[in-house]
A and B are shown apart, each in its own frame.
Chain A
Amino acid sequence: MYSNLAISVNSLTKIYPLYNSPKDRLKEALHPMRKKYHDDFYALRDVTFEVEKGDSLGIVGQNGSGKSTLLKILSRVLTPSSGSFQVSGRVISLLELGSGFNPELTGLENIYFYGTILGFTKKMIDERLDEIIAFADIGRFIGQSLKTYSSGMRSRLAFSVASHVDPDILILDEVLAVGDLRFKQKCYRVMSDIIEKRKTVILVSHDTIAITNFCNKTLWLNEGKIQEYGSSSEIIKKYVGFMTYGLETQEGAENDREDTVSQSGKSSENNSNESSVPLEQSNIKWTGVSQLESFGEHGAIIKEVALYFKDTDKNVDVVKGGEWLSFFAKIIINSNISLPGFGLKLKDKRGNGVFTVNNYLYKRALPELKANQEIIVKTDFRFPLLVEGKYSLTIAISDGDQENHTQHHWIHDAIFINVQNEEPKFKRTGNIIVLEENDYNIELITV
């Protein structure tokens, strides 16, 4: 095994025999001809992947897709039916809330109890005890028996112990879901520290935002098989599309898109003189989006898009913030759409949503659209004050209303917008929005 691999999994398969009744299990065990009385259920089917040291791996998938089974195998709780896996170093796993805890013992005793199960001596736990208690931060409950704990307190204590015993690979199965926001933030900080030490964290969560923010790689399991494995931002996009609308995301041609962005960048430089000439429809410089990642029923197809400063012929690539922009989309209508909806979603580079505008949410009805025509939709909006960085617009056309609609075409990251602003308040990384001058006041009140 190469020294920079933390986990290598090789065609791992886990089969559960399903019996119609307990009698069948006995019949099969005693049958002289070894007749089969069960159906095989593949909880995992031929799963192969590798994780490098210092990676953080997110695992997503629907309920019953094999996430927990995979984690249990990696934690050596379950034995695979076939295939093999190797892990380098000490694996610490929190598979379920409060697993390994003893409800009769106090919190303090449980730290020792759990720590010993994880393979630590009493002395080693003594050394870390203060840190563990401080991190869990459950006050005087530490001396109470675990029965009296809330589920949040249990997960605090469990995470605190598990993260303070120097895991080489830390496996977390939805255990942070019950923690409050402050504790979650604390957990992510600790996990980042662990990753910085070139250790590995595996996180199963239905919180896709947490996975995009925290994990650099994501494994998407579907019905026991690997659906996709790769960088988190890509996989989560596809997964969210799949989960929301049950549609397969079409692969986008990554290289083309980068070209598009740089081209539009150039054109904006060319047009960066101050003269503002009103834009003629025939002069719009369109950017094709058919190669991008998308999904939908294709009752309407967004062909091309363009982004201009409002009422000018200036193409947008770089914005300062606060400008009015006009977004144009050329759409081919393939089938009648009685309640058309068109929307934009601005996302930051990590995939966090910044805002969403669409005519459903803002109650701006669009007329019914007949099939077999080409239309252009123009959306004007004021670009908010945002911290410097790269943002993307995701666009969609649908039919229905906000709660219940058919998604005809949804395009991920149709266009990129760079925010550049010299003012220092736009350079606070980690934030998203910047308050406007009028939205902030400070004064000294002398007593």
Chain B
Amino acid sequence: MSYLKNFYYFNKVIYQQRYIIRKLVARDFQKKYLSTYLGMVWAFINPLVYILTIWFVVSIGLRSGEGLGYAFLPWLVSAMIPWFFIRDGLSNAAGSLVDYSFLIKKMYFRVGIIPLIKLFTVLIIHLFMLVVLIIIVVLYGFYPTIYWIQIPYYLLCALVLLIGMGWLTSALMVFVRDIKQTIEVFNTLFFWLTPIIWPHEGLTGPKRLLVDLNPFFYITNGYRETFIHGKWFFEQVNLTIYFWCVAIFFFVVGAIVFQKLKPHYADVL
């Protein structure tokens, strides 16, 4: 019961502090892009070049990607773009407390919001990328369907998972700066382990289990099924239940660890 109360209270705080959150998110953007000539454009150039490179390597270099039954580019993009969201969310949230040490060391501030600020920044970029994604799939003939309404659902999935992981990693990173490098390694590892540029269909046994146990797969695959395959999330009950168990586990553990370590942030930073 007290957890529910805390959760309600936390949402209230987010609402009360929306002005600060907005300003801090804007500051985040300014810091990243404002001093460059192309500004915000860099937020898109980087992932798009990444996508084009992989598309080039797979379809022209390796001459594969034809056996899917779908055009390769929209198929690739529909999972790549949610993956960028996860990747940037993880690495940005982890460093958030260290980046915003001025709010922790010199004044009383609701520290729990800080990882969210970074996630909101990443979310905004993702929303723009979502527009790019929609343009690409429509150009390839995948017109809007009823399935598209589950995009907010998958966004929520990603956010809940990222908030929990963000709390956990950002709290630990205050004490162990190696977390930053560790997360970069994990990001590379999971990019290849998750079926993003390769299809998971046809995998069986322990290999299939390895894919299913990966919570990021639920999200990237969810986007792909929404845009390309046309499937509902509740068609795979087991995976959905499993994902929410993992997400809530990280959310609760992240919240507890974050709360437990909170008294020490100002000392160590």
The residues of A with any CB-CB pair to B shorter than 8 Å are 16, 26, 29, 72, 75-79, 91, 93, 95-96, 99-100, 102, 104-105, 109, 112-113, 116-117, 121-122
Bound CA–CA A76/B109 (angstroms): 9
State the 3 A-B residue pairs at the shortest beta-carbon distance, nearest first.
A99-B106, A79-B263, A76-B108
A113 and B106 within 8 A (CB): no
B19 and A105 within 8 A (CB): no
B contact residues around A96 at 8 Å (CB): 106
Q: Name 4 extra pairs, CB < 8 A, besides A79-B263, A105-B27.
A: A99-B107, A104-B27, A112-B19, A113-B19
What is the distance, in angstroms, from B195's C-beta to the closest C-beta of chain A? 37
A16 and B267 within 8 A (CB): yes
A-B contact pairs, 5 of them (CB 8 A): A79-B267, A91-B108, A99-B107, A100-B109, A117-B107
B23 and A105 within 8 A (CB): yes
Assess A95 versus B23: contact at CB under 8 Å? Given A72-B266, A79-B263, A116-B17.
no
B19 and A116 within 8 A (CB): yes
Decide if B45 is an interface residue (CB 8 Å cutoff): no
Bound CA–CA A96/B27 (angstroms): 21
B16, B31, B102, B107: the one contacting A93 at CB < 8 Å is B107
Decide if B208 is an interface residue (CB 8 Å cutoff): no
Decide if B57 is an interface residue (CB 8 Å cutoff): no
Is chain B's binding surface mostly helix, strand, loop or mixed?
helix
A contact residues around B176 at 8 Å (CB): 26
Interface residues in B111-135 by Cβ distance below 8 A to A read none
A contact residues around B30 at 8 Å (CB): 104
Bound CA–CA A238/B175 (angstroms): 42
Decide if B185 is an interface residue (CB 8 Å cutoff): no
A122 and B267 within 8 A (CB): no
Q: Determine the residue in chain B with the shortest Cβ distance to A115.
A: B19
Bound CA–CA A16/B266 (angstroms): 12
A102 and B108 within 8 A (CB): no
B27 and A116 within 8 A (CB): no
Q: Determine the residue in chain A with the shortest Cβ distance to B178.
A: A26
Q: Determine the residue in chain B with the shortest Cβ distance to A78.
A: B266
Decide if B138 is an interface residue (CB 8 Å cutoff): no
Bound CA–CA A117/B263 (angstroms): 19
Interface residues in B25-51 by Cβ distance below 8 A to A read 27, 30-31
Decide if B12 is an interface residue (CB 8 Å cutoff): no
What is the distance, in angstroms, from A74's C-beta to the closest C-beta of chain B? 10
Bound CA–CA A412/B176 (angstroms): 55
What is the distance, in angstroms, from A174's C-beta to the closest C-beta of chain B? 13
A contact residues around B17 at 8 Å (CB): 116
Bound CA–CA A22/B16 (angstroms): 39
A contact residues around B106 at 8 Å (CB): 77, 95-96, 99-100
| Interface size class of chain B, counting residues whose CB lies under 8 Å from the partner chain | 20 to 34
What is the distance, in angstroms, from A173's C-beta to the closest C-beta of chain B? 10
Bound CA–CA A86/B16 (angstroms): 25
Q: Determine the residue in chain A with the shortest Cβ distance to B177.
A: A22
Bound CA–CA A79/B260 (angstroms): 12
Bound CA–CA A78/B267 (angstroms): 7
Interface residues in B121-155 by Cβ distance below 8 A to A read none
A contact residues around B105 at 8 Å (CB): 77
B109, B175, B266: the one contacting A117 at CB < 8 Å is B109
Decide if B213 is an interface residue (CB 8 Å cutoff): no
Decide if B103 is an interface residue (CB 8 Å cutoff): yes
B contact residues around A29 at 8 Å (CB): 175
Bound CA–CA A26/B103 (angstroms): 26
B107 and A102 within 8 A (CB): no
A75, A79, A99, A105: the one contacting B102 at CB < 8 Å is A99
A75 and B23 within 8 A (CB): no
A95 and B19 within 8 A (CB): no
B contact residues around A122 at 8 Å (CB): 19
Q: Chain B 197-230 against A: per-residue CB contact (8 Å), 1 yes, 0 no?
A: 0000000000000000000000000000000000
Q: Find the residue from B19, B31, B109, B176 having the highest chain A CB count within 10 A.
A: B19
A contact residues around B71 at 8 Å (CB): none
Decide if B20 is an interface residue (CB 8 Å cutoff): yes
A contact residues around B31 at 8 Å (CB): 104
Assess A102 versus B266: contact at CB under 8 Å? Given A75-B107, A77-B105, A117-B107.
no
What is the distance, in angstroms, from A444's C-beta to the closest C-beta of chain B? 58
What is the distance, in angstroms, from B99's C-beta to the closest C-beta of chain A? 13
Interface residues in B71-112 by Cβ distance below 8 A to A read 102-109
B23 and A113 within 8 A (CB): yes
Q: Determine the residue in chain B with the shortest Cβ distance to A96.
A: B106
What is the distance, in angstroms, from B160's C-beta to the closest C-beta of chain A? 26
B contact residues around A105 at 8 Å (CB): 23, 27
What is the distance, in angstroms, from A326's C-beta to the closest C-beta of chain B? 56
A100 and B23 within 8 A (CB): no
B contact residues around A100 at 8 Å (CB): 102-103, 106-107, 109
Bound CA–CA A26/B178 (angstroms): 12
Q: Determine the residue in chain A with the shortest Cβ distance to B263.
A: A79
Bound CA–CA A93/B108 (angstroms): 9
B contact residues around A76 at 8 Å (CB): 108
A contact residues around B27 at 8 Å (CB): 102, 104-105
Q: Find the residue from B23, B105, B264 having the highest chain A CB count within 10 A.
A: B23
B267 and A102 within 8 A (CB): no
Assess A109 versus B108: contact at CB under 8 Å? Given A77-B266, A100-B103.
no
What is the distance, in angstroms, from B15's C-beta to the closest C-beta of chain A? 11
Assess A75 versus B108: contact at CB under 8 Å? Given A105-B27, A116-B19, A116-B20.
yes
B contact residues around A72 at 8 Å (CB): 266
What is the distance, in angstroms, from B117's C-beta to the closest C-beta of chain A? 12
What is the distance, in angstroms, from B119's C-beta to the closest C-beta of chain A? 19
Bound CA–CA A113/B30 (angstroms): 16
Q: Find the residue from A93, A102, A122 having the highest chain B CB count within 10 A.
A: A102
A contact residues around B175 at 8 Å (CB): 29
A contact residues around B108 at 8 Å (CB): 75-77, 91, 93
